[in-house]
Structure 1
Amino acid sequence: MTKRIAMWSGPRNLSTAMMYSFGARGDCAVWDEPFYAAYLKATGIDHPMRDEIIAAHDADPGSVAVACRGATPDGQPIFYQKHMTLHMIDGFDRSFMRDCTNVFLIRHPARVVASYAKKREGPTLDDIGFVQQEQLFDEVSGWMGTLPVVIDSDDIRANPEGMLRALCAAIDIPFTPNMLRWPAGGHASDGVWAPHWYGAVHRSTGFEAPEGPLPALSDGYQALADRALPYYQRLAALRLKP
């Protein structure tokens, strides 16, 4: 029986490193942001490499949703899907989520804003996914009748093995030490957008050391982080502990 894991985060949330971690297991296929092309085509939003993304990836949200609940690539028993919360716009089929174990990956908004702004200037609250993450969390909680797993990127970087063990136990898969290391240079399942967004993680071979104090932000970016903070704090209060 296939285990489908839908990992929901905003951008710059350690999401690519987590995908590499699961991809290193040896029993897990991974899918990088399945709905990205469909999101760009449906919204008309301008992102780096927009045309290349739409050309290279499936931009039909219906067929993407079918594939999310379909056969696992390469017949692997685990299918890890790295999803961006902002990609699940109104009208996209979310029924596939009921066939997945949904996990919510969070990061402090000050860190998200500082990292995102280095790659794409002038982000808005919609761009960083915190509001959408809370909405999806509530939606999943409603039909599950219980709270889905929340995991904080700061906790993962502070204690990679402890947090990954706790995560695997919470979603009922075995932990393997393979999750702690991966080859430098990216993953075969990277989206075509990887050259723009994934430079640091391509140089990595494992989770980076814990981060220091929160970054100093300009007034406009600090205001954006402040708007996102209540959404983060709500889920952070429910986060998994090692």
Structure 2
Amino acid sequence: MWSGPRNISTAMMRSFENRWDTAVVDEPFYAAFLAETGLDHPMRETVIAAGERDWRKVADALTGPVPDGRRVFYQKHMTHHMIPSIGRDFMAHPEIVNAFLIRDPESVLASYSAKRESATLFDIGFVEQEALFLAVADRLGRAPPVIEGADVLADPAGTLSALCAAVGIPFEPAMLKWPAGRRATDGVWAPHWYHAVEASTGFGPPRPPAAFDDLPDALKPVAEAARPIYERLARHRLAAA
């Protein structure tokens, strides 16, 4: 699942982890991304120390046996982690289905700015998400599955049923509720980013989109640049089953 930040991506991971047949992994390229770019992210040194810095080893694990003998492997990825020096061949593995989770840029930026003071177009991953989507679509000869975070919140059962059908697995009602709290599978960055999802026991109610005019002036150009990308991807979003 390819997403930018602040887009119910961790709630989606919780949803799949609550299935009996599914193992999950949380942003496995994060350590390699930070080590290669030198970027200053919250908890940077902790993330690098806890993760795998060699992206090749990460890719091997993602295409190897599913952990714990499970049948489904839900991989939560951030699109902006896929910098040019990190290979993407693993995405074409015959047993991997690439899906895309989108959210309108105004809402992403409003949420992101509450955790970090500034954000660039790169930070929210829209350009990279479209590039990955187009590469997968070109290889498949059709659009890969796209879901909108707002649609999941508005109709969790219907939207997740459509997603499961698109990736070839049965929908499980257990995906709609989960126990509150932190997971051993959460990234070490959870203390900075995951407060809301740790308190959750399911998908929250739909939220109105953030207003462009309410964004800080410094973020408005970022939203304007991301908006056309979002609209192109949104044309392919799955309808609820």
TM-score, length of structure 1 as denominator length: 0.96
**Deviation per residue, 1:50-101 (Å, 9 max, x gap):** 0000001111111101111011110100000000000011021211111210
Whether the aligned pair in 1 keeps the contact of 2:35 and 2:53 (CA below 8 Å) is yes
DSSP 3-state at the match of 1:70: coil
Alignment of 1:50 onto 2:44: yes
Alignment of 1:1-242 (within 5 A): 7-99=1-93, 100-215=96-211, 216-242=214-240
> Quick one: distance in 1 between partners of 2:51 and 2:7?
22
Q: Give, in angstroms, the shift of residue 159 of structure 1.
A: 0.5
Whether the aligned pair in 1 keeps the contact of 2:181 and 2:199 (CA below 8 Å) is yes
Which letter does structure 2 place at the counterpart of 1:233? E
> Quick one: distance in 1 between partners of 2:220 and 2:176?
33
> Quick one: distance in 2 between partners of 1:144 and 1:117?
36
Q: Give, in angstroms, the shift of residue 186 of structure 1.
A: 2.2
DSSP 3-state at the match of 2:98: strand
**Deviation per residue, 1:27-71 (Å, 9 max, x gap):** 100000010000000000000000000001111111101111011
Whether the aligned pair in 1 keeps the contact of 2:4 and 2:125 (CA below 8 Å) is yes
DSSP 3-state at the match of 1:54: helix
> Quick one: distance in 2 between partners of 1:102 and 1:230?
22
**Deviation per residue, 1:193-229 (Å, 9 max, x gap):** 0110001011000001000242421221122111110
> Quick one: distance in 1 between partners of 2:166 and 2:182?
27
The Cα RMSD (Å) is 0.8
Whether the aligned pair in 1 keeps the contact of 2:104 and 2:209 (CA below 8 Å) is no
Greater shift, 63-72 or 216-225, is seen at: 216-225
Which ranges of structure 1 fall in alignment gaps of 5 or more residues? 1-6
Whether the aligned pair in 1 keeps the contact of 2:19 and 2:172 (CA below 8 Å) is yes
> Quick one: distance in 1 between partners of 2:87 and 2:126?
20
> Quick one: distance in 1 between partners of 2:208 and 2:111?
14
Which ranges of structure 2 fall in alignment gaps of 5 or more residues? none
> Quick one: distance in 2 between partners of 1:186 and 1:163?
25
Percent identity of paired positions between Structure 1 and Structure 2: 57
Aligned residue pairs: how many? 236
> Quick one: distance in 2 between partners of 1:18 and 1:152?
12
Q: Give, in angstroms, the shift of residue 151 of structure 1.
A: 0.3
Q: Give, in angstroms, the shift of residue 26 of structure 1.
A: 1.1
> Quick one: distance in 2 between partners of 1:24 and 1:213?
28
Whether the aligned pair in 1 keeps the contact of 2:106 and 2:209 (CA below 8 Å) is no
Q: Give, in angstroms, the shift of residue 187 of structure 1.
A: 2.1
* Deviation >6 Å, runs of 4+: none
**Deviation per residue, 1:10-41 (Å, 9 max, x gap):** 00011000000000011100000010000000
> Quick one: distance in 1 between partners of 2:160 and 2:65?
25
> Quick one: distance in 2 between partners of 1:105 and 1:85?
10
